[in-house]
Amino acid sequence: MFENDLAELDAAGTLAAAEVNEHTLITAETRRLQIAAHWADLHPGDAVAESRLPGSERPAQLGGDGTPTVGDFAPAELGCVLRTSDGSASRLIADALDLRHRLPRIWAAALAGQVPAYQARYIATATRQLPAEQAGFVDQRIAPSLGAVSFGRLQTLVETAIIDADPEAAEQRAAAAAQERFVRLGSTSEHGLKLIIARAAAGDALWFKATIDRIADILGHDGDTDTTDVRRSKAIGILAQPAEALRLLHEHQDDDLDGSAEPSDRDQLLVEDEPPAEEATHRSLQIMPSPFNPDKARPRAIVYIHLSVEALAAGTGIARVENVGPVLLSRLQMLLGDRCTINLKPVIDLPAGHIPIDCYEIPTSLREQLLLRYPADVFPFANVVSRSVDMDHTIAYLSVTEGGPPGQTRIGNLGPCVRRHHNQKTHGGWHVRQPEPGTWLWRSPHGRIYLVNATGTHPLGHS
């Protein structure tokens, strides 16, 4: 219907429709922020009952200085209604509170439809570490530019205003940022490729790039016809195996790969002063290196590859590689590389199940089975896929002295949850049942029902 309406519009009419649609979108997104702020008002942190029980609800200041506290269980149910994780809901509430309490001019501009919600939220997040007074300085400085400059220019203006608000504190933040170096893998994969994200000292980054370029040049010298960028990507894999990197660099240490190197006077002097061969090879003058075994120098890694029987038999299909994602079987060799040594471990027969255990503690073999069966957090709309999660008893464990039945620790009564979702179930009014292994039914504190299975989260209404 809408496409038919658009087909009847000329250029001017299409622009007018785009303008109306944009205004509607901005209004709806701003309304979302208002709802998030009101949800925080309904769950104030000072109303949370005092409790010393580990994992019980606590007041949390999601926003910056000057914002009210919120019960830390509150974002979970809002996130489920918005079909997003509770972490995303927490950030939405934090941004809404910051805008309302710390950035009143920007909040007013958002309510008036002058600025898109994502730009207002960016400013709220960027200024969260500032004291309320300095946030007000940024609010005053930035307000006249809202809706008048592109988002890229707005980001530069915000960064400048934050520094101007307190240059000394900005210097301290820069020093603190230097301690926040990291190397991480991107959360998504594409065709067996993975994004590497790193923050390092500028000097280290330059040396790393220079080494990457050097190895890429060596690959090109050895006949690799791929583009420079692809060879640089391959160089990262070579650096991940130091023995191979050392071999390449050593073999090509005297190569003039770019044709620009010329021996210096010092190099010539060293050559002229080199002692005769018979003197240089005298054993009393040699430093004998210890034996080097490149196989032992290779790093060790455990890679979990999930394959169906049909794909394994046919030799074609899709494999799921943990921390990588779906990969065509034909691309597995690229993933594993041709320089690694592969040691296969016994295949776990998942359909065979596991013998139930009469204790609270979960054996390693059962935990491994559960992680292979259920790689993701089973809380509604959770986004964590990790091996560092709790294995939670769906029906709370009761000891024998408390009248508990045998075999409570088993597939069908366990599921992976991060700690905060575990606490939500234990102390936050959420209830869950597992009618069959791999299917969870959750009921929120306000009676909303969510079914979680291998296909994701499915809202089933309010009951």
Closest CA to 29 of 89, 116, 146: 116
**Residue 16 included in any domain:** yes
Residue that terminates a domain, selected from 161, 177, 193: 177
Residue 136 in any domain: the answer is yes
Answer yes or no: is 415 within a domain.
yes
Asked if residue 283 belongs to a domain, the reply is no
- State the pLDDT at residue 203: 64
Domain edge (last residue) among 130, 160, 177 = 177
Task: Indicate whether 188 and 168 sit together in one domain.
Answer: no
**DSSP conformation letters of 57-81:** --EE--S-TTPPPEETTHHHHHHHH
Q: Are residues 22 and 137 in the same domain?
A: yes
Range of the domain at 316: 301-347
Q: How many CB atoms lie within 10 A of CB 156?
A: 11
Q: Looking at the structure, do residues 432 and 450 belong to the same domain, yes or no?
A: yes
Site of tokens 């209404």: 461
Cα–Cα distances in Å, from 290 out to 246, 287, 293, 296? 15, 9, 10, 14
Residue 318's DSSP bridge partners are: 328
124 located within any domain: yes
* Residue-wise burial string across 366-403, b where 16 or more C-beta atoms lie within 10 A, e elsewhere: bbebbbebbbbbbbbbbebeeeebbbbbbeebeeeeee
| Same domain for 89 and 18 | yes
Report the domain count for the chain: 4
Q: What is the pLDDT along the chain (463 residues), one digit of tens a residue?
A: 456 677 778 888 888 988 898 999 999 999 999 999 999 999 999 888 777 778 889 999 999 999 999 999 999 999 999 999 999 999 999 999 999 999 999 999 999 999 999 999 999 999 999 999 999 999 999 999 998 888 988 998 998 899 888 888 777 777 776 677 888 887 666 666 778 888 887 667 777 888 888 899 899 988 999 999 999 999 998 888 888 888 888 888 777 655 544 444 434 434 444 445 454 455 444 545 556 565 655 556 677 887 777 887 887 888 777 777 777 777 776 666 655 666 666 667 666 668 888 888 898 889 988 988 888 999 999 988 888 899 999 999 998 888 889 899 999 999 999 999 999 999 999 999 999 999 999 999 999 999 999 899 999 998 7
Q: What is the dihedral of CA 409, 413, 419, 420, to 10 degrees?
A: -150
Burial status of residue 66 (CB atoms within 10 A of its CB: 0-12, 13-18, 19 or more): middle
Does residue 16 share a domain with residue 139? yes
Give CA angle at 153 (150, 157), nearest 5°: 130
Q: Kindly report the number of other CB atoms within 10 A of residue 404's CB atom.
A: 15
pLDDT of residue 225: 92
Residue 357 sits in the same domain as residue 449: yes
Neighbours of 335 (CB within 10 A): 17
pTM of the model: 0.70
Do 248 and 388 have their domain in common?
no
Q: How far apart are CA 35 and CA 275, in angstroms?
A: 83
User: Can you tell me the distance from the alpha carbon of 460 to that of 448, in angstroms, rounded to the nearest whole number?
Assistant: 7
Mark whether 115 and 42 lie in a shared domain. Answer: yes
Is residue 278 one of the residues assigned to a domain? no
- Residue 173 shares a structural domain with residue 203: no
Identify whether 276 is part of a domain: no
* Closest alpha carbon to 103 in 68, 73, 78, 127: 127
- Please report the pLDDT score of residue 291 as a whole number: 61
DSSP 310-329: HHHHHS-SEEEETTTEEEEG
9 plus 151 within the same structural domain: yes
